Amino acid sequence: MKKIVISTGGGDAPGLNAVIYAVVMASHARGWEVYGSRSGYLGLLDLDELVRLTPDKVADITSTGGTIIGSTNKGNPFAMPIENLAGEVEIHDVSDRVMKNFNRMGFACHIAIGGDGSLEIAHRFAVEKGMNVIGVPKTIDNDLEATQSTFGFDTAVSTATEAIDKLHSTAKSHDRVMVVEVMGRDSGWIAVNSGISGGADIILIPEIPFDMDEICKKLDDNELHNKDYAIVVVAEGASAKDAEVITKGAGEVGRAEKVLGGVGTWVAQEISKRTKKDTRALVLGHLQRGGSPTTCDRLLALRFGATAVRLAENQQYDHMVALAGDEMIAVPLERAISKRKKVPRDGDRVRTALEIGICMGVSQEELPF
């Protein structure tokens, strides 16, 4: 009998529960026990936060959003924010306590479902503490180079596309420019996929720093062709040429990444100032992370979960499951966390966007087509 522990770390993504379901069911079929560690590593720090996951506990969760065991993006056991008696937050390394509990519970391995940050922590546990870990890639941003796709991304793109679709009628009725800010951190995958699919006029992504003159030129050109409204899709990590990425600061204590956001409002203000057009900005925000996973995300998540259990059976630790073509493969975690996946400037998405008349925020001469 094997005992395994599963955790979900970082921002939630539709499909997390489907991975949990597949891990529990595939383990149960092998006669193994599964435990869920609440809120990332909390269950391994405090055994009261460990929950036994049995088939009856996970019945019907595949189609639900979020994660039944909770998640956090400020729970790195190597640098954990802990409040002292004076109410001040101090950073402590509690990784040894995690290992002690892991061994005490007799866990054979830890299946860590997370994005780059969580997978990096899992890899550290493997290398520095000898924990048997298997990674499952999760992020709506789709920015992990080692896997063709991550679950949560398709749902986020579908939500964003649906929102953009709905903006057309209101933008048209008022002859307005509507600027929509979407998530994605330093990668423009959500913006470019939803922008092309939703019929945006302009798409701004982090991979192509934009030029406000080109954006205004496109809006003028629209007017010349009797189109008095426009939809601009901006990735939260996009920035103007020679300008810094706009952020909302460091965020909560213990958080590894800054909180992005604000570029949509900035672009809308610039458009309004320069063109005098009626302009509005909206931020889709966490709507993109919520709700039921699409069929595509569910299937990918279930396949990832079943594959992770297969890796556990073969004791192929310190690896991450990944999608390559239509195959499930195992990639060493070290490689998996080493590179972010960016939208290629010379790729087919950018080319398609230009060919169907979408402005990518710069003049066509600046792109290789």
Compute the least distance from the CB of residue 289 to ligand F6P, in Å: 5
Compute the least distance from the CB of residue 143 to ligand F6P, in Å: 8
Compute the least distance from the CB of residue 318 to ligand F6P, in Å: 23
What one-letter code names the amino acid at 288? Answer: Q
Q: Which of 116, 141, 154, 186 is catalytic?
A: 141
Q: Which is nearer to ligand F6P, 75 or 362 (CB)?
A: 75
Residue 141 is a catalytic residue: yes
Compute the least distance from the CB of residue 139 to ligand F6P, in Å: 5
Q: Which is nearer to ligand F6P, 34 or 300 (CB)?
A: 300
How far is the C-alpha of 128 from the C-alpha of 132, rounded, in Å? 11
Compute the least distance from the CB of residue 83 to ligand F6P, in Å: 20
Q: Which is nearer to ligand F6P, 11 or 188 (CB)?
A: 11
Q: Which two tokens stand for residue 188?
A: 């423009």
Give me the residue whose beta carbon is nearest to ligand F6P: 183
Q: Which is nearer to ligand F6P, 75 or 171 (CB)?
A: 75
Q: Which is nearer to ligand F6P, 139 or 279 (CB)?
A: 139
Residues that bind ligand F6P (CB under 6 A): 11, 73, 115, 139-141, 183-185, 236, 259-260, 289
Q: Which is nearer to ligand F6P, 144 or 231 (CB)?
A: 144
Q: Which of 228, 229, 179, 186 is nearest to 361 (CA)?
A: 179
Secondary structure (H, E, C), 214-254 = HHHHHHHHHHHCCCCCEEEEEECCCCECCCCCCECCCCCCC
Compute the least distance from the CB of residue 278 to ligand F6P, in Å: 29
So which residues are the catalytic ones?
Answer: 141
